[in-house]
Amino acid sequence: MKKTKVLQNIFISVGVLSAAVRLVDAGMNDGFANSRTLLPPLLPPIITFDAPGAGTDPGEGTLAFAINPAGTIAGLYFDSSPVTHSFLRAPDGTFTEFDAPGGGTDPYQGTFCFAINPEAAVTGYVRDSRDVFHGYLRLPDGVFAVFDAPGAGTGRFQGTIPDNINPRDLIAGDYIDASSVWHGFLRTPDGNISTFIAPGAGTGPNQGTEVGSVDNLNSVGAISGFLIDSNNVAHAYVRAPDGTITVFDVTGAGTGPNQGTESAGINEAGTIEGYYIDSNNVYHGFIRATDNTIMTFDVPGAGTGPGEGTVPANINASGAIIGQYIDSSDVVHGFLRTPDGTITTFDPPGGGTGPGQGTIPACNNPRDAITGWYVDSNNTTHGFLRPMSAPRP
């Protein structure tokens, strides 16, 4: 689901925000000649949670976006107004809620949080009272720095949108200019902001260069994302730390408007995952290795109709991929694909079973803990944590 659509949906309704992916179980063996079958790891129960103050009506609730190696979760919630606020959830379940300076107080204005680094510094944007976006960095001690990328527009639904923060406090994201065109940016810890445009990016409204959310910036500064060309077709790219941008497409990606290839994450090794939308508007997952080879996959049970299919969301250091799949009833489910290709599907308790309801995993940390949110039968969102698997004794 393109970020432009995500943003539009956030502004209107969380119920519309959800879209896309799923998977199933497979066996394992230890690799020895006797092919002894190992017992699968113990799976702790999925923990569900709501931020204090989160609303309980449709279009309200809690969205968990990112989890760091220590298990601290960053996200946002919509209160009963519904104004947007952000939070940190510590591994012991304690919440810290916060609002960045300058947030508006009308529905879906306020503070949005999308990414966290190992030190618990977070980034996101503030939507002000005029519906303009401004980036922020919140340090672990609670100190804020609010910033705008050079060239960011100042009109409604324009401005600066940080999406990622790495261990060195580099921040990557995008900005929307006065013509509603998207551009990428990278902010260094000293506040210097450089901007970039992927080759082939369109220059019309809602076209341009977008950076993926949560974990599309690794520790060495490589960035993954996608561009929307002049025909409104998506193409994936990777930007190397030296600024070199490589654009690529998955074989089988559609070439019509709102089709194409989109990167969704990059890990420490430089492996990229994402999805492509075919000519029938069905979603499929892909993995791009550092040697530029690409393999594709579909979660068993994923629907094959328009707007259905497999939508990876994140990849961790070991190469485990999480995301969502949309079934033939347009219900969303979570999946985990391990580096050996094993696929497991899951749903937290309480998820709805109607179209657009269900499970939306957003991030998996290096220890294989997964966080995200689910939409219940009332179209209210709730956060979840799927803890790391415990080995059997």
**Each residue of 301-320: pLDDT tens digit?**
999 999 999 999 999 999 99
pLDDT of 132: 98
What's the CA dihedral at 246, 341, 327, 308 to 10 degrees?
10
Q: How many domains does the chain have?
A: 1
pLDDT of amino acid 284: 98
pLDDT at 388: 81
Quick check: pTM over 0.75?
Answer: yes
Position 43 scores a pLDDT of 65
Strand partners, 214: none
**Could you read off the pLDDT of 238-283 as tens digits, one per residue?**
999 999 999 999 999 999 999 999 999 999 999 999 999 999 999 9
- pLDDT band at residue 12 under the 50/70/90 scheme: very low
Query: Which CATH number do you get for residue 176?
Result: 2.130.10.10
Spatial CB neighbours of 192, under 8 Å, sequence gap ≥ 6: none
- pLDDT at residue 393 in the model: 44
* pLDDT exceeds cutoff 80 at 298: yes
- How much is the pLDDT for 19? 29
52-73 average pLDDT score: 97
Is pLDDT of 392 > 70? no
Under 8 Å between Cβ of 308 and 284: no
Per-residue pLDDT at 44: 75
Neighbouring CB atoms inside 10 A of 164's CB total 28
Which one, of 48, 59, 58, lies nearest residue 350 by Cα?
A: 48
Q: Is the dihedral of CA 89, 175, 374, 343 positive or negative?
A: negative
Q: Is residue 393 part of a domain?
A: no
Lowest mean pLDDT among 14-23, 56-65, 226-235, 242-251: 14-23
Q: Is the pLDDT of residue 204 over 70?
A: yes
How many whole angstroms separate alpha carbon 147 and alpha carbon 367?
32
pLDDT confidence band for 42 (50 / 70 / 90): low
Q: Is residue 90 situated within a structural domain?
A: yes
For the cut 50, the answer to whether the pLDDT of residue 3 exceeds it is yes
In a domain, 392, yes or no: no
Q: What is the mean pLDDT of residues 164-187?
A: 98
Question: Which residues, in sequence order, are CB contacts of 257 under 8 Å at separation 6+?
Answer: 231, 232, 233
Average of per-residue pLDDT values in the chain? 90
Report d(CA 249, CA 234) in Å as an integer: 9
Rounded distance, CA 20 to CA 313, Å? 9
Domain that holds residue 79: 3-386
> Looking at the domain assignment, is residue 197 inside a domain?
yes
- Residue 321 — very low, low, confident or very high, per pLDDT cuts 50/70/90? very high
Residue 391 domain-assigned (yes or no): no
Residue 104 lies in a domain: yes
- Contact yes or no for 249/228 (Cβ under 8 A): no
- In order of 212, 281, 375, the CA distances from 1 in angstroms are 11, 11, 17
Say if residue 118 is preceded by a cis peptide, omega within 30 of 0. no
- 332 within a domain of the structure (yes/no): yes
Identity of the residue numbered 22: R
Please check whether residue 358 lies inside any domain of the structure.
yes
Lowest pLDDT segment from 20-29, 51-60, 207-216: 20-29
Residue 243 phi/psi, 5° resolution? 95, -5
26 pLDDT band, cuts 50/70/90, is: very low
Q: Which of 125-129, 274-278, 289-293, 388-392 has the lowest mean pLDDT?
A: 388-392
